[in-house]
């Protein structure tokens, strides 16, 4: 069994650990090539405004079209990206791709008012010196305004935030790119961070959303979290909405936005475009005329 013993600072590596390490190294080099060969792709998951029942935005989620293994979700390769020092490059690829896409959509479509695309940013990207400068250049090149994006950052980042992170967050704000706290309620956050953080929205983790219909206590808990978010002057997005009942409950609790399989799974850019033009309806429309 693969297990490391830290006793006396000595680690024992089993053959299984060697094997795992070799596989990771292989994955890292494959990923490095994938970045160069444009095998990554941005998928989009609609975010719905529960007050108007309209698409208010989308979250961009990275996928890897692996030549042999097919479409890979981030779980299969983000750790390797982090370990291999490829996270910054991957993040830049994603941001460049998304800003390009948003530029095309703004030029070619009548986007819903306030439509924006949420992009996940890893802590390493914010710790890297010039994310704001990079984003500024992209936005200028594509003629996209900063508010068309929202950068999702995780709570864990906030706890270890240093000068570079703070400077990046300030600079992003200065160019009009809103920030959002992702996976809110999953652990790291201390309530005091909420007050000092320049974020526009907080995204409630799906582990909280999904317990909503099961227990009354969970519902009160989510209600309290929504109050907290609102008290801090932020809007709330609930992720992982899979059922109509969850959407209805969240609306009654004054949660502004929701995303999840009930509305749509993450889809390729062409499918997202169909949602935006009205050529395709949200999955929820089959269930509830409100979403049609
Ligand atoms: P996240 O940012 O919390 O994204 C939400 C995840 O929940 C996505 O998984 C999405 O497909 C999934 N999801 C959405 N609705 C539902 C639902 O109703 N039920 C269930 N069970 N799941 C739902 P995905 O695409 O596999 O991404 C996983 C994580 O990988 C993301 O979690 C995010 O932390 C990270 N990630 C994805 N794309 C990027 C990226 O471009 N850059 C960075 N740094 N991280 C990324
Ligand atoms: Mg996210
Ligand atoms: Mg999330
Ligand atoms: Mg999550």
pLDDT of 160 over the 90 cut:
no
C-alpha 122 to ligand 2 mean position (Å): 10
End-to-end CA separation in angstroms for the chain: 53
- Index of the ligand 1 atom closest to the CA of residue 74: 30
Q: Give residue 1's pLDDT band: very low, low, confident or very high (50, 70, 90).
A: very low
Q: Give residue 163's pLDDT band: very low, low, confident or very high (50, 70, 90).
A: confident
Which of 63, 74, 202 most suits a substitution to test ligand 1, by most atoms within 8 Å of the C-beta?
Answer: 74
Using a 6 Å cutoff on CB, does residue 185 contact ligand 1?
A: no
Which of 41, 61, 76, 182 most suits a substitution to test ligand 1, by most atoms within 8 Å of the C-beta?
Answer: 61
CA pair distance 256, 237, nearest whole angstrom:
6
Atom 4 in ligand 1: which residue has the minimum CA distance?
A: 61
CA pair distance 195, 74, nearest whole angstrom:
31
Using a 6 Å cutoff on CB, does residue 30 contact ligand 1?
A: no
Using a 6 Å cutoff on CB, does residue 91 contact ligand 1?
A: yes
Q: Give residue 2's pLDDT band: very low, low, confident or very high (50, 70, 90).
A: very low
pLDDT of 255 over the 70 cut:
yes
Q: Tell me if residue 77 falls in helix, strand or coil.
A: coil
Average pLDDT over residues 12-30: 87
pLDDT of 192 over the 60 cut:
yes
Q: Match 């080099």 to its residue by tokens.
A: 29
Average pLDDT over residues 75-91: 94
Q: Match 């994006």 to its residue by tokens.
A: 149
Give the residue among 39, 99, 58, 68 at the shortest CA–CA distance from 266: 58
- Index of the ligand 1 atom closest to the CA of residue 241: 18
Average pLDDT over residues 102-119: 96
Atom 20 in ligand 1: which residue has the minimum CA distance?
A: 240
What pTM was computed for the model? Answer: 0.93
What percent of the chain is modeled with pLDDT above 90? Answer: 68
């Amino acid at each position: 069994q693969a297990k490391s013993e830290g006793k006396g600072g000595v680690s024992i590596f089993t053959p299984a650990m060697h094997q795992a390490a070799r596989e990771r190294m292989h994955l890292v080099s494959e990923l490095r090539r994938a970045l160069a060969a444009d095998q990554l792709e941005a998928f989009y998951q609609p975010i719905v405004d529960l007050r108007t029942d309209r698409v208010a935005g989308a979250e961009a989620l990275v996928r890897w079209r692996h030549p042999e293994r097919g479409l890979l979700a981030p779980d299969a390769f983000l750790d390797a990206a982090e370990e291999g020092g490829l996270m910054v490059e991957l993040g830049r690829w994603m941001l460049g791709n998304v800003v390009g896409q948003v530029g095309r959509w703004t030029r070619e479509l009548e986007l819903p008012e306030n439509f924006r695309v949420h992009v996940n940013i890893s802590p390493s990207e914010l710790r890297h010196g010039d994310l704001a400068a990079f984003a500024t250049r992209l936005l200028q090149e594509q003629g996209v305004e900063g508010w068309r994006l929202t950068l999702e950052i995780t709570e864990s980042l906030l706890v270890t935030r240093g000068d570079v992170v703070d400077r990046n967050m300030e600079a992003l704000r200065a160019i009009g790119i809103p920030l959002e706290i992702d996976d809110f309620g999953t652990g790291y956050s201390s309530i005091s961070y909420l007050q000092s953080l320049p974020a526009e929205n907080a995204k409630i983790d799906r582990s909280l959303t999904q317990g909503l219909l099961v227990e009354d206590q969970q519902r009160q808990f989510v209600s309290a979290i929504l109050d907290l978010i609102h008290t801090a002057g932020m809007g709330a997005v609930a992720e992982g909405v899979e059922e109509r009942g969850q959407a209805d409950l969240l609306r009654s609790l004054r949660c502004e936005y929701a995303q999840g399989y009930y509305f749509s799974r993450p889809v390729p850019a062409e499918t997202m475009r169909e949602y935006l033009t009205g050529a395709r309806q949200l999955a929820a429309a089959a269930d509830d005329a409100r979403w049609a």
